[in-house]
Amino acid sequence: MPRTRYAPDRGLTTRMVTTMFFIGLLYVVFIGVLLAVFKGAWPLIVIIAGGLFVAQFWFSDRIAAFSMGAREVTPQQAPELHGAVDRLCALADMPKPRVAIADTDVPNAFATGRNQRNALVCATTGLLRRLEPQELEGVLAHELSHVAHRDVAVMTIASFLGVLAGIMTRAALWGGLSRGSRNNNVGIAVLLIPLISAVVYAISFLLTRLLSRYRELSADRAGALLTGRPSALAAALTKVTGQMARIPTRDLRKVEPFNAFFFAPALSGESVSRLFSSHPTLERRLDQLGRISAQLGQAGRG
């Protein structure tokens, strides 16, 4: 991984490796079960699983951008946004990603891409309209940290594997049922495989949520240390979270499936268990930024 001036996070690296190991192990077992039950359908299972995984890995940035309505913009079309990204990339000593804007009033931002060379960072029109320049830089520094640490790629792959479990299950059932007259296990499989698929999805979901909450804290910390202005990021967090309450619920629900990739969750609240949340609480994020601000202040006085 190309080095940048973003503060390294061994805790994040350890969690990413651990998450991918357990999800990979989970899917090896899952595919083994499918192949054992549907012996005649193994070519279909392997082709679909392999093809979808490769497509998701290589085209994840384009898929995410399209799904979230992001369009790439030139420096002439968005000079302030490009200027902020240029300054941060120079400060972090990292390649500049593609820059995009999503036309939605939901104030948010996200980054995607499997590595620094094909990364994309996107801000919504709602975010650009509401934030001051220093606040915007704080948010962008947060998002670029995801690219520098490559946790956005891990999250993309890990999240996709949950969807892949359902697709593979349907493919296996379809292939097995088409050979039902020659397979006495199909009746049992029709009941067993969906249950196994649900368990695989649930475990994958919990693992990605645990990683997601930590990576958001890591990006807050790295972005604040890079810019040296944790207060600007804290102000942006407070403003974005507060403005979410003014956005129509129907608009928030449209982007809710992408919560794990956003700077701040589109929908949150006490009704949602912290176990299933994609982000740490606002209080925890602000508390961390407050401690960083105090540390930087002490270092400055020293």
Binding residues for Zn(2+), as ranges, are 142, 146, 216
- Match 């503060």 to its residue by tokens: 7
The beta-strand segments (E) located in 94-244 are: 98-102, 109-112, 120-124
Catalytic entry in 143, 256, 270, 283? 143
Distance of CA 4 to the CA centre of its chain: 20
Judged on CB neighbours under 10 Å (0-12, 13-18, 19+), 181 is: exposed
Distance CA 61, CA 99 (A): 12
Residues belonging to the binding site are 142, 146, 216
Distance CA 164, CA 271 (A): 29
Sequence-distant (≥ 6) Cβ neighbours of residue 168 within 8 angstroms: 30, 31, 34, 45, 48, 49, 197
CB atoms within 10 A of CB 93: 12
Closest CA to 110 of 248, 263, 249, 242: 263
72 catalytically annotated: no
Distance CA 238, CA 232 (A): 10
Distance CA 96, CA 110 (A): 15
Strand 120-124 relative to strand 98-102: parallel, antiparallel, unpaired? parallel
Distance CA 108, CA 161 (A): 25
Distance CA 225, CA 123 (A): 21
The Cα-based distances of 112 to 94, 103, 181, 240 in angstroms read 15, 17, 46, 20
Distance CA 85, CA 150 (A): 17
User: What does DSSP assign to residue 93?
Assistant: T
Catalytically active residues are 143
